[in-house]
Amino acid sequence: MDFAPDTPVTAGSAARADDALLLHACHPVMAPLARLAVARGMQYAQFDELMRAAFVQAAREAHPDVPSHRAVSRVSAATGINRREVTRLLKAESPEAPPRRAPATEIFARWITDPTLRHQGAPLKSLPRQGAAPSFESLAQSVTKDVHPRSLLEELCRLGLARVDDETDSVVLLRETYVPSGDDKRLFGFLGANVGDHLSAAVSNVLGASPRHLEQALFADGLSSESLERLRPIVSEQWQSLVRAIVPVVRQFIEEDEAAARTQDQRLRIGMYSYAEPIERPAAAPAAEPDKAPSRPTRRRRSTE
């Protein structure tokens, strides 16, 4: 291994090393956001406003016990943002909380995961539109009684998840996965919620919070495009297996909490993702000019291990 110079480690040098590590980690997080912003025509000034507001909010949450009259000074010191700007951002309205999942998608999720609505390992392909369970009417009412089943059925049909068979007066399931297409509101909602929670789990682990969140990944290179195409359905099936196994358990726990009158103030998101792209190959070194000998490499001192 290479020898390193005997440089004393000070608090300042350790802090600078931590800053460098953080900046290095931030680049792959920020680059996709910048690509999305440029693709959608979002100007840097808008993004900068979001980051400033996020810094101010994080600093305020890090010092919740600071009195209001000292909050501006404390946030300014923690973020490096000037006091006037901190004052403006603290007075700005907080961003709206992400909306809860719509009842129609709740119905879809229950249809494809409820053991009573499955046959030979697969969800029932159709349900009677009305009547006792199993029926679409009973399924809809098990999710919510605030919206009429007919309205929920119309929304499922609009999303392309189901259709009505008039001849048999039944509801036919059209697919077992839901990825909104052409619906920017839902697409961006999923983007913010899924990536935000994934990043929150990773950040919480890095900061040493307890209990630790599950945040793991498998990665590989040296694959061909043909192999990736063969892997995609396998990965998708693994996700479907997870959904079928975990959703009924989560639903059971929610019902048990309600029955026991426990405080239900916790939320959970479990996700899985896959991503593939071509490997960036380093550029080839230029060939040596024929009338010049290549420079001799510098020898490194190595250990005798």
Are the C-beta atoms of residues 248 and 256 closer than 8 Å to each other?
no
Are the C-beta atoms of residues 126 and 172 closer than 8 Å to each other?
yes
Residues 202 and 239 in one domain: no
Q: Is residue 142 situated within a structural domain?
A: yes
Are the C-beta atoms of residues 161 and 175 closer than 8 Å to each other?
yes
Are the C-beta atoms of residues 141 and 150 closer than 8 Å to each other?
no
Residues 83 and 110 in one domain: no
Q: Is residue 293 situated within a structural domain?
A: no
Residues 42 and 57 in one domain: yes
Mean pLDDT of the chain: 82
Highest mean pLDDT among 126-130, 282-286, 289-293: 126-130
Are the C-beta atoms of residues 192 and 199 closer than 8 Å to each other?
no
pTM summary value: 0.64
Using the structure block, give the residue that is written with the tokens 């403006």: 88
Q: Is residue 240 situated within a structural domain?
A: yes
Judged against a pLDDT cut of 90, whether residue 226 lies above it is answered with yes
Residues 87 and 22 in one domain: yes
Q: How far lies 237's CA from each of 10, 63, 173, in Å?
A: 51, 45, 18
Q: Give the chain's domain count.
A: 4
Residues 87 and 149 in one domain: no
Q: What is the DSSP letter of 229?
A: H
Residues 167 and 151 in one domain: yes
Query: Residue 100: pLDDT band by 50, 70, 90 thresholds?
Result: low
Q: Is residue 300 situated within a structural domain?
A: no
Q: Is residue 168 situated within a structural domain?
A: yes
Structure confidence by residue, pLDDT tens digits, 234-273: 999 999 889 888 988 998 999 999 999 999 999 999 999 9
| Out of 11-15, 25-29, 42-46, 297-301, least confident range | 297-301
Q: Is residue 289 situated within a structural domain?
A: no
Instruction: Show the domain range for 233.
Output: 217-276
Residues 191 and 252 in one domain: no
**How much is the average pLDDT of 225-233?**
93
Sheet of 170-173: strands edge to edge?
A: 126-128, 170-173, 162-165
- Please count the residues of the chain: 305
Query: Residue 88: pLDDT band by 50, 70, 90 thresholds?
Result: very high
Structure confidence by residue, pLDDT tens digits, 169-202: 999 998 877 766 556 777 788 888 899 999 999 9
**How much is the average pLDDT of 216-222?**
89
Residues 196 and 262 in one domain: no
The residue that leads in pLDDT, 155 or 177, is 155
Judged against a pLDDT cut of 90, whether residue 55 lies above it is answered with yes
Judged against a pLDDT cut of 50, whether residue 302 lies above it is answered with no
Query: Residue 164: pLDDT band by 50, 70, 90 thresholds?
Result: very high
Q: Is residue 286 situated within a structural domain?
A: no
Residues 167 and 123 in one domain: yes
Q: Is residue 258 situated within a structural domain?
A: yes
Residues 115 and 150 in one domain: yes
Residues 111 and 169 in one domain: yes
Residues 221 and 208 in one domain: no
